[in-house]
């Protein structure tokens, strides 16, 4: 394994900030930018749900970073030397070693993806009536805790849900609320506290090392287990280095080690690390490992592959080492920052400070004339696709659920998430995103709401179909053609 290079500090003439790529492109994939007429048709065929678009109609796919990061030559090369074996594969040994080297964790359980780790952890530790406090939930995390009769408690700070903020660590857990929660429910009803690195659903916002240390101190005092979701930990570590006093000169690998040393159990989705399937649970506590391990052969596969192919296991191991390379881990946050600052400067409402994962556009601020009952984030995602061919993801009320009376539970925030998978896009493509979003903002009064025509009972955002209220998509496309005369 080659040593990760340390990141040179690059400055530019006259204090400009250019997020310089420290990699080169060696394999490319042709993209298609369809004319606006086709984009309008395509979003109609997709029931105004960007999940139902197909990539032949998409120019830039910013739906998610899950399984879409660019792979390195080292990762692809490693997949060719994988060791095929049902049991005892050398590929698994390499992955175990990577987890030990990067996180200092000795006991590893392989799983087929992140939610499979959540299934095993929740089944093992959560009982009927339990509560699991956390800084913020992720969709699959909540679902698995619910299924096992538990309930999640989100105890984020007041800053977490503010769109505009200077708070460097909006992903922090509120420590006063943690004390109060422990006092209210008692340690017996709290199987573990969960911390999520770079909180996915509130804008990829990190927590600080100081906060993690305090959470560790409080949970240890009460003998409560601490679980860390490290799916997006590289970016969180990067923000600690950038934003937390005392960490500027500490290498990412040491920050990752310190973060991991503060939890009892960690798990991750390898879809975010190496763009393959897979994931793992890791711990230094043999008692916890033994409690969980029997579920791996039951749900995943033998203990040395856990539902993954050996090729994926190799790519994951290399991906973990690359997470400690600052030139790799800084790429997505620096592009996101570039986009967020440009949009913010142009008056387009976006979440600040910039996080990891993607740029999050505030649909409530963008479309104040669209009531939440008409799904402004979903409408904005559809409108932006028409205007650009760029696919983002709705993270608002469509991603929420209905209450027992059948009424929508309105989401805390209405966001259009534009994910920035690692090393996939160029800076000129990011500039295109900014250009089209600024045009859309100037024409925002043309955008109307959506309503469901076909609504699945569970996880409706994946497969639900909607229709526009009025003929706004057509009028938006007409205005676009008038302004740009685009026909490609
Ligand atoms: C993606 C993700 C998961 C779930 O992982 P899958 O591989 O999609 O099942 C869990 N937690 C976080 C923070 C994630 O980003």
The number of beta carbons lying within 10 Å of the beta carbon of residue 445 is 9
Q: How far apart are the first and last CA of the chain?
A: 45
Q: Which of 66, 206, 235, 274, when mutated, tests ligand 1's pocket best, judged by the most ligand atoms within 8 Å of its CB?
A: 66
Whole-number pLDDT of residue 308: 95
Q: Give the CA distances from residue 123 to residues 111, 144, 197, 304, in Å, rounded to whole numbers and listed in that order.
A: 14, 8, 22, 21
Looking at 39, 94, 272, 364, which residue is catalytic?
Answer: 272
Ligand 1 atom with minimal separation from the 279 CA: 7
| Distance between CA atoms of residues 439 and 450, nearest Å | 21
Q: What is the structure's pLDDT at 458?
A: 83
Backbone angles phi, psi at 31, to 5 degrees: -110, 160
Q: Which pLDDT does position 10 carry in this prediction?
A: 83
Cα(66) to ligand 1 centroid in Å equals 8
Cα 109 to ligand 1 centre (Å): 16
pLDDT of residue 320: 95
Encoding tokens for residue 104? 């200092």
Q: How many CB atoms lie within 10 A of CB 248?
A: 11
Q: Is the CB of 7 under 6 A from ligand 1?
A: no
CA angle 129, 133, 138 (to 5 degrees): 100
Would you list the DSSP string of 375-430?
Answer: -HHHHHHHHHHHHHS-B-EEESGGGS-B-TTS-B---S--EEEEE--TTTS-HHHH
Q: Which of 272, 299, 399 to mutate to test the pocket of ligand 1 (most atoms within 8 A of CB)?
A: 272
Query: Of all helices (H) and strands (E), which one includes residue 122?
Result: helix 114-125
Q: How many other CB atoms are there within 10 angstroms of residue 358's CB atom?
A: 30
From the list 395, 417, 423, 436, the catalytic residue is 395
Torsion of CA 297, 303, 308, 311, to 10 degrees: -160
Q: Are 240 and 213 in contact (CB under 8 A)?
A: no
Maximum C-alpha span of the chain: 67
In sequence order, what are the residues at sequence separation of 6 or more whose Cβ sits closer than 8 angstroms to the Cβ of residue 73?
A: 26
Pocket test for ligand 1, best of 69, 231, 393 (most atoms within 8 A of CB): 231
Q: CA torsion 85→91→92→95, rounded to 10°?
A: -170
Concerning whether 461 is annotated as a catalytic residue, the answer is yes
Q: Does the beta carbon of 235 lie inside 6 Å of ligand 1?
A: no
Which helix (H) or strand (E) segment holds residue 213: the answer is helix 209-221
CB 216 within 8 A of CB 260: no
Ligand 1 in reach of 194 Cβ (< 6 A)? no
How far, in Å, from the CA of 12 to the mean position of ligand 1?
36
Residue with tokens 């230094």: 284
Which atom of ligand 1 lies closest to the CA of 357? 15
Decide: 222 and 187 in contact? Cβ < 8 Å. yes
Q: Tell me what pLDDT residue 16 has.
A: 86
- For the question of residue 229 being annotated catalytic, the response is yes
Compute, in angstroms, the gap from residue 141 CA to the centroid of ligand 1. Answer: 8
133 SS3 class = strand
Task: Give the separation between CA 63 and CA 53, rounded to whole angstroms.
Answer: 11
Render pLDDT for 411-448 as a digit per residue (tens, 0 to 9).
989 999 999 999 999 999 999 999 999 999 999 999 99
Distance 65 CA to ligand 1 centre (A): 10
Q: Which residue in the block uniquely carries the two structure tokens 């032949």?
A: 56
Q: How far, in Å, is the centroid of ligand 1 from the Cα of 351?
A: 21
In the prediction, which pLDDT does 459 show?
A: 85
pLDDT at 359: 98
Catalytic residue among 169, 321, 432, 461: 461
Q: Which residues pair with 416 in a beta bridge?
A: 361, 394
> CA-CA distance, 145 to 153, in Å (whole number)?
11
- Reduced to 3 states (helix: H, G, I; strand: E, B; else coil), residue 228 is strand
Helices and strands in the chain, H and E counts: 19, 12
Q: Decide: 115 in ligand 1 pocket, CB within 6 A.
A: yes
Neighbours of 429 (CB within 10 A): 16
pLDDT for 102: 98
Instruction: Report whether 396 contacts 414 (CB < 8 A).
Output: yes
Residues with Cβ within 8 Å of residue 147, at least 6 apart in sequence:
122
pLDDT of residue 487: 56
User: Of 311, 245, 238, nearest to 274 (Cα)?
Assistant: 311
3-state helix, strand, coil split of the chain in percent (to 5) is 45, 15, 40
Considering only CA atoms, which residue is closest to atom 8 of ligand 1?
Answer: 114
Work out the burial of residue 90: count CB atoms within 10 Å of its CB; fewer than 13 is exposed, 13-18 middle, 19 or more buried: middle
For the segment 83-114, what is each residue's pLDDT rounded down to a tens digit? 999 999 999 999 999 999 999 999 999 999 99
* Residue 435 annotated as catalytic: no
Burial 317-331 (b: 16+ CB within 10 A, else e): bbbbbbbbbbbbbbb
Q: What are 19's two structure tokens?
A: 């997020």
Q: Is the CB of 199 under 6 A from ligand 1?
A: no
Give, to the nearest 10 degrees, the angle between helix 36-45 and helix 472-484. Answer: 160
CA–CA separation, 231 vs 236, rounded Å? 10
| Residue 231, ligand 1, Cβ within 6 A | yes
| Ligand 1 atom nearest to CA at 115 | 9
- For the question of whether the overall pTM of this predicted structure is more than 0.85, the answer is yes
pLDDT of residue 71: 93
Ligand 1 centroid from CA 269, angstroms: 5
Closest residue to atom 6 of ligand 1, CA basis: 114
Low-confidence ranges of the chain (pLDDT < 50): 1-5, 488
Residue pair 320/28 in contact by the 8 Å Cβ criterion: no
pLDDT value at residue 3: 45
CA distance 367 to 445: 8
Cβ of 140 less than 6 Å from ligand 1:
yes
Q: Which residues of 60-70 are buried (b: 16+ CB within 10 A; e: fewer)?
A: bbbbbbbebbe
Ligand 1 atom closest to the Cα of residue 197 is: 13
Check pocket membership of 196 for ligand 1, CB cut-off 6 A.
yes
Q: Which domains does the chain have, with CATH numbers?
A: 9-65+328-484 (3.90.1150.10), 73-324 (3.40.640.10)
Whether 119 lines ligand 1, by a CB cut-off of 6 Å, is: no
395 is catalytic: yes
Q: Up-side HSE of residue 291: CA atoms within 13 Å toward CB? A: 15
Structure tokens at 253: 């690998």
Q: Report DSSP state, residue 309.
A: -
Question: For atom 10 of ligand 1, which residue has the closest CA?
Answer: 114
CB of 137 sitting under 6 A from ligand 1: no
Catalytic option among 55, 86, 471, 474: 86
Which residues are 205's β-sheet partners? 199
pLDDT tens, residue by residue, 214-246: 999 999 999 999 999 999 999 999 999 999 999
C-beta of 68 in contact with ligand 1 (< 6 A):
no
Provide the pLDDT for residue 7: 56
């Amino acid at each position: 394994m080659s040593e990760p290079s340390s990141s040179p500090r690059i400055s530019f003439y006259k204090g400009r900030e250019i997020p310089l790529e420290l990699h080169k492109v060696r394999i490319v994939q042709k993209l298609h930018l369809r004319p606006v007429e086709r984009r309008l048709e395509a979003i109609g065929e997709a029931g105004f749900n960007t999940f139902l678009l197909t990539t032949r109609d998409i120019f830039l796919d910013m739906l998610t970073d899950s399984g879409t990061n660019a792979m390195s030559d080292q990762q692809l090369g490693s997949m060719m030397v994988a060791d095929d074996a049902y049991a005892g594969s050398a590929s698994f040994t390499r992955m175990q070693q990577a987890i030990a080297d990067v996180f200092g964790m000795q006991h590893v359980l392989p799983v087929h993806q992140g939610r499979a780790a959540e299934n095993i952890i929740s089944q093992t530790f959560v009982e009927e009536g339990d509560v699991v406090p956390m800084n913020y939930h992720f969709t699959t995390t909540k679902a698995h805790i619910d299924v096992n009769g538990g309930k999640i408690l989100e105890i984020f700070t007041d800053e977490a849900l503010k769109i505009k903020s200077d708070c460097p660590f909006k992903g922090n857990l509120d420590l006063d609320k943690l004390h109060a929660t422990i006092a209210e429910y008692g340690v017996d009803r709290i199987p573990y506290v969960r911390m999520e690195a770079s909180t996915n659903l509130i804008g990829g916002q990190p927590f600080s090392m100081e906060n993690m240390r305090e959470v560790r101190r409080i949970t240890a005092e009460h003998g409560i287990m601490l679980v860390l979701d490290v799916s997006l930990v590289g970016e969180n570590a990067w923000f600690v280095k950038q934003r937390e006093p005392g960490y500027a000169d500490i290498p990412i690998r040491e920050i990752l080690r310190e973060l991991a040393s503060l939890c009892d159990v960690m798990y991750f989705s390898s879809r975010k690390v190496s763009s393959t399937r897979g994931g793992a649970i890791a711990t230094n506590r043999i008692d916890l490992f033994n409690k969980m391990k029997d579920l791996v052969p039951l749900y995943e596969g033998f203990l040395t592959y856990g539902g993954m192919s050996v090729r994926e296991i190799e790519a994951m191991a290399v991906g973990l080492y690359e997470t400690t390379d600052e030139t790799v881990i800084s790429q997505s946050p620096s592009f996101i920052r570039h986009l967020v600052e440009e949009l913010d400067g142009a008056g387009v409402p976006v979440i600040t400070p910039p996080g990891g994962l993607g740029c999050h556009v505030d649909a409530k601020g963008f479309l104040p004339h669209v009531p939440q009952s008409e799904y402004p984030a979903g409408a904005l995602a559809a409108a932006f696709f028409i205007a650009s061919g760029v696919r983002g993801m709705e993270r608002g009320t469509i991603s929420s659920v209905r209450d027992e009376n059948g009424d929508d539970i309105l989401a805390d925030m209405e966001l259009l998430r534009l994910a920035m998978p690692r090393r996939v896009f160029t800076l000129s493509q990011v500039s295109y995103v900014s250009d089209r979003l600024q045009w859309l903002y100037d024409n925002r009064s043309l955008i109307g709401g959506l309503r469901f025509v076909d609504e699945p009972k569970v996880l409706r955002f994946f497969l639900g179909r909607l229709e526009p209220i009025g003929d706004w998509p057509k009028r938006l496309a007409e205005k676009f053609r008038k302004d740009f005369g685009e026909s490609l």
